[in-house]
């Protein structure tokens, strides 16, 4: 079995310790300070926060992920499922069933891990007042015991039809819950800043910003060497540096390449820089169907713009040079294409340039 994990949160031996961040975050949890952890996807926000919250002595964990949530009903359902995981005892389930009786809860099994969970009917979940009822149940718990509340991909709430209203309801409850640490995580920077730094937002100044940055190269290198050593592979520093540079130090992508290197090597091997290209082929073989699917969802114009970013880079995309590279006639067309590419999460803007979010997808597009 591969000693590497990517595309999920990591814990225990799969988690490379980040002692400084863990210490600072643990301090915020203890003092009940609300924090907003903002940073690109796959940089280890969820893993860091969950690992730290799990280690916080005496705290129960309430974790709900709002990624791609489409309606208030779905949001309520996710929150109820998270509430039911606050404690793994029969008495807790019966208590929850009573507290949420208005929402007609039923016991069911979580298909992901077979654990018991509580479901609520979609119609009940969509009813006005159900969110208040769930927040009341949560706050009733935080008044009684120490709970660390983790709200993941929080910015996706803004995309609900009544997102502003939902945020206002949440803020009004959270405001009364001053001793409980609320940790808001978000991968879409501008949306998170709108929520926490715009004076018109209900969450204006509602949390201290917390940046996770990169995992220290020396620490991550040592961590990966130990993982490779489990299967007697040696991993020279220059191979690590080459991978890290290619994927802009993103831990999730570094682990993905490491896993591909692992799959295409055997005990006793040394993983050279020259092996990295081979590992990309492993990744393309695994992912090409997803990549082709993503491409098929786009118009010809959008594909041209995406391809131009992959070959030429995403600086000055309204220049004549870019238009030529993309074979596009007008800047208006580029603008239209970009808007869709950004909405789809394929491209994002940072440090004065547009970038393709996934570096492997970018390379695949470039080679097409
Ligand atoms: N501390 C860490 N140690 C080892 N790998 C990590 C660490 N943090 C992140 N990763 C890698 O990044 C991937 C994504 O982590 P995750 O916490 O889900 O990031 P985010 O929440 O920022 O999207 C993980 O599957 C793992 O491969
Ligand atoms: Mg996450």
pLDDT tens digit sequence for 23-50: 999 999 999 999 999 999 999 999 999 9
Centre of ligand 2 from the C-alpha of residue 325, in Å: 35
With a cut of 90, say whether residue 351 has pLDDT above it. no
Q: What is the mean pLDDT of residues 55-74?
A: 96
* Bridge partner residues of 208 (DSSP): 35
Let me know whether 31 and 139 are in one domain. yes
In a domain, 351, yes or no: yes
Let me know whether 204 and 222 are in one domain. no
Centre of ligand 1 from the C-alpha of residue 90, in Å: 33
In a domain, 8, yes or no: no
Let me know whether 34 and 151 are in one domain. yes
* Ligand lying closest to the C-alpha of residue 252: 1
Band (178; pLDDT cuts 50, 70, 90): confident
CATH number of the domain enclosing 308: 1.10.10.10
With a cut of 90, say whether residue 252 has pLDDT above it. yes
Q: What is the mean pLDDT of residues 14-26?
A: 97
Let me know whether 315 and 226 are in one domain. no
In a domain, 4, yes or no: no
CATH number of the domain enclosing 75: 3.40.50.300
With a cut of 90, say whether residue 68 has pLDDT above it. yes
Let me know whether 305 and 231 are in one domain. no
* Spatial separation of the C-alpha atoms in residues 193 and 186, rounded to whole Å: 10
Beta carbon of 43 within 6 Å of any ligand 1 atom: yes
Let me know whether 196 and 115 are in one domain. yes
With a cut of 90, say whether residue 90 has pLDDT above it. no
Let me know whether 169 and 51 are in one domain. yes
Question: Of 243, 262, 288, at which residue does a domain stop?
Answer: 288
Mutational pocket test of ligand 1: of 40, 42, 67, 186, the residue with most ligand atoms within 8 Å of the beta carbon: 42
Range of the domain at 350: 297-367
Atom of ligand 1 nearest to the CA of 50: 17
Let me know whether 73 and 116 are in one domain. yes
pLDDT tens digit sequence for 259-299: 999 999 999 999 999 999 999 999 999 999 999 999 999 99
Centre of ligand 1 from the C-alpha of residue 244, in Å: 14
Question: Of 247, 266, 288, at which residue does a domain stop?
Answer: 288
Let me know whether 221 and 280 are in one domain. yes
Query: Where does residue 30 rank: exposed (0-12), middle (13-18), buried (19+ CB within 10 A)?
Result: middle
Q: Is-contact 155 45, C-beta < 8 A? A: no
Let me know whether 29 and 173 are in one domain. yes
Which DSSP string corresponds to 117-135?
EEEE-HHHHHSTTHHHHHH
Let me know whether 340 and 198 are in one domain. no
Let me know whether 283 and 348 are in one domain. no
The reported pLDDT for the residue numbered 226 is: 97
Average pLDDT, the chain: 95
In the chain, the number of structural domains is 3
The reported pLDDT for the residue numbered 124 is: 87
Dihedral in degrees, nearest 10, Cα atoms 46, 47, 52, 55:
130
* Ligand lying closest to the C-alpha of residue 227: 1
In a domain, 334, yes or no: yes
Q: Which residues of 207-242 are buried (b: 16+ CB within 10 A; e: fewer)?
A: beebebebbeeeebbebbeebbeeeebebeeebbeb
Q: Is-contact 271 233, C-beta < 8 A? A: yes
With a cut of 90, say whether residue 185 has pLDDT above it. yes
The reported pLDDT for the residue numbered 111 is: 85
Residue that has been written with the tokens 């491209």 in this structure: 347
């Amino acid at each position: 079995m591969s000693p590497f994990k990517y595309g999920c949160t990591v814990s225990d031996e799969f988690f490379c310790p980040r002692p400084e961040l863990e210490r600072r975050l643990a301090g915020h949890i203890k003092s009940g300070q609300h924090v907003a952890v903002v940073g690109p996807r796959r940089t280890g926000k969820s893993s860091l926060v969950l690992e730290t919250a799990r280690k916080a002595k005496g705290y129960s964990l309430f974790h709900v992920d709002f990624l791609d949530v489409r309606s208030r009903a779905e949001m309520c359902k996710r929150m109820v499922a998270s509430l039911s995981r606050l404690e793994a005892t029969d008495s807790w389930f019966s208590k929850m069933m009573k507290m949420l009786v208005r929402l007609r809860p039923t016991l069911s099994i979580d298909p992901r891990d077979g654990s018991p969970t509580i479901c609520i009917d979609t119609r009940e979940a969509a009813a006005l007042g159900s969110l208040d009822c769930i927040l009341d149940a949560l706050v009733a718990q935080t008044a009684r015991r120490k709970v660390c509340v983790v709200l993941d991909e929080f910015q996706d709430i803004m995309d609900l039809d009544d997102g502003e209203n939902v945020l206002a309801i949440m803020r009004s409850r959270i405001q009364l819950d001053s001793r409980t640490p609320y940790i808001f995580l978000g991968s879409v920077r501008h949306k998170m800043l709108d929520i926490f730094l715009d004076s018109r937002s209900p969450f204006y100044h509602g949390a201290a910003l917390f940046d996770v940055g990169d995992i220290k190269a020396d620490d991550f290198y040592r961590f990966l060497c130990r993982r490779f050593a489990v299967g007697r592979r040696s991993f020279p520093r220059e191979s690590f540096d080459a991978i890290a540079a290619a994927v802009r130090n993103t831990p999730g992508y570094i682990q993905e390449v490491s896993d591909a290197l692992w799959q295409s090597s055997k005990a006793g091997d040394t993983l050279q820089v020259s092996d990295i290209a081979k590992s990309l082929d492993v990744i393309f073989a695994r992912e090409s169907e997803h990549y082709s699917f993503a491409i098929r969802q786009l118009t010809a114009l959008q594909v041209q713009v995406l391809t131009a970013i992959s070959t030429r880079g995403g600086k000055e995309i309204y220049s004549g040079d870019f238009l030529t590279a993309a074979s596009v006639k007008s800047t208006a067309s580029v603008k239209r294409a970009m808007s869709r590419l950004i909405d789809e999460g394929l491209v994002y803007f940072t440090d004065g340039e547009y970038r393709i979010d996934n570096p492997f997808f970018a390379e695949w597009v470039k080679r097409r």
